[in-house]
């Protein structure tokens, strides 16, 4: 499967190559201070590919948050999660953040690759994500119009529901909407 020591020794070169070949991509590699033998201990690897950032921003529901980034840490703890959340929040411009609980699905999706050496693992995951994005780009080609089937379904449900509504102008700058079968009203 490869030599872990050799691959971890090349992790900074791998980062440089990813940044060189993927403009706009964010990548962070953290290693600890050298120990008594002069060896630095790996702490974390984070990458958010520019193409995946753009795809996520364009179509959040199709990709899910976990399809956009990759992190590898020495161990999961509060410090590594806090650091990771800060990176992804900054990369995606989420402000205070948008919570997403897809991590377990993503970890299952990459399970086979997770047990390989670091660069081999990262490359397998990169190719897997690249292939997924390509498939997601093909999906809209099957649409009958410029709207996704899910968006059309929601629109049709709302149109049907609106047939039972009455709208009253409030005489100023707003409207009151009432559903015929409901005593609730909403304001627009």
% of the chain beyond a pLDDT of 70 = 77
Alpha-carbon span 74 to 145, nearest angstrom = 47
pLDDT in tens, 47-106: 888 877 777 665 554 444 455 566 676 677 777 777 877 887 788 777 664 475 556 667
Q: Which pLDDT belongs to residue 140?
A: 82
Residue 111 DSSP code: T
Q: Which pLDDT belongs to residue 17?
A: 92
Considering only CA atoms, which of 147, 179, 139, 176 is closest in space to residue 163? 179
pLDDT band at 13 (very low <50, low <70, confident <90, very high): very high
> What count of other Cβ atoms lies within 10 Å of the Cβ of residue 173?
6
pTM exceeding the 0.85 threshold for the entire prediction: no
Q: Which pLDDT belongs to residue 19?
A: 92
């Amino acid at each position: 499967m490869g030599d872990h020591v050799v691959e971890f020794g090349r992790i900074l070169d791998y980062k440089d190559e990813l940044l060189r070949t993927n403009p706009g991509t964010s990548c962070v590699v953290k290693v600890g201070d050298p120990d008594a033998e002069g060896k630095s201990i790996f702490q974390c690897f984070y990458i958010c590919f520019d193409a995946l950032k753009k795809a996520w921003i364009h179509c959040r529901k199709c990709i899910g948050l976990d399809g956009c980034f990759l992190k590898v840490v020495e161990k999961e703890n509060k410090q590594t999660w806090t650091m990771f959340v800060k990176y992804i929040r900054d990369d995606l411009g989420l402000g205070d953040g948008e919570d997403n609980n897809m991590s377990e699905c993503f970890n299952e999706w990459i399970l086979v690759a997770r047990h390989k050496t670091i660069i081999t693992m990262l490359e397998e995951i990169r190719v897997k994500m690249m292939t997924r994005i390509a498939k997601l780009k093909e999906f809209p080609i099957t649409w009958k119009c410029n709207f996704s089937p899910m968006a059309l379904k929601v629109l049709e449900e709302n149109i049907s529901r609106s047939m039972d509504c009455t709208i009253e102008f409030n005489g100023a700058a707003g409207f009151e909407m009432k559903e015929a079968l409901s005593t609730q009203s909403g304001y627009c």
